[in-house]
Amino acid sequence: MPQINNYSSPAVILPLTGSEVLLLVQNQSGNVETVNVNLLQLLPQFTVANLPAVTAANQGYFAYATNGRNTGEGSGSGTGCMVTVNKNGVWAAVWSGAAVQS
């Protein structure tokens, strides 16, 4: 995850609505703060089919899958979700930990 202003990596990511999340982050003084983030302005965006190939170098990277599926969305009707390369070497939806689908 890229550094946001002077904050360290987020400790907790809480989904809000659509592409917005709430980050609980630690500032340089060691205090925990909340930061609202619009993922579309922060993360690189790809369709599920065009997510970069998984390598050892990008394990832990985050992106926004523009057609990634969320709970209740059928095949081909994903509205987008944040994804990460997990320890199993797949792009996974952050909210579920499961391999992202479109």
Claim to verify: residue 64 and residue 84 sit in the same structural domain: yes
Q: How far apart are CA 57 and CA 37, in angstroms?
A: 25
Claim to verify: residue 50 and residue 79 sit in the same structural domain: yes
Claim to verify: residue 50 and residue 88 sit in the same structural domain: yes
Mean pLDDT, the chain, integer: 81
Instruction: Provide the pLDDT for residue 9.
Output: 53
The burial class, CB within 10 Å (0-12 / 13-18 / 19+), for 60 is exposed
- Amino acid letter at 28? Q
Q: How far apart are the first and last CA of the chain?
A: 23
Q: How far apart are CA 61 and CA 19, in angstroms?
A: 17
Q: What percent of the chain has pLDDT over 70?
A: 83
Q: Which domain holds residue 61?
A: 43-102
- Give pLDDT tens digits for 42-86: 788 999 999 999 988 888 788 989 999 988 899 999 999 989 898
Instruction: Provide the pLDDT for residue 2.
Output: 46
Residue ranges of alpha helices (H) inside the chain are 39-42
Query: Which of 28-32, 35-39, 58-62, 97-101 shows the highest mean pLDDT?
Result: 97-101
Claim to verify: residue 70 and residue 29 sit in the same structural domain: no
Instruction: Provide the pLDDT for residue 39.
Output: 66
* DSSP β-bridge partners for residue 62: 84
Claim to verify: residue 8 and residue 33 sit in the same structural domain: yes
Structurally, the chain folds into a number of domains equal to: 2
Q: Is the pLDDT higher at 37 or at 75?
A: 75
Give the phi and the psi of residue 38 in degrees, each rounded to 5: -95, 115
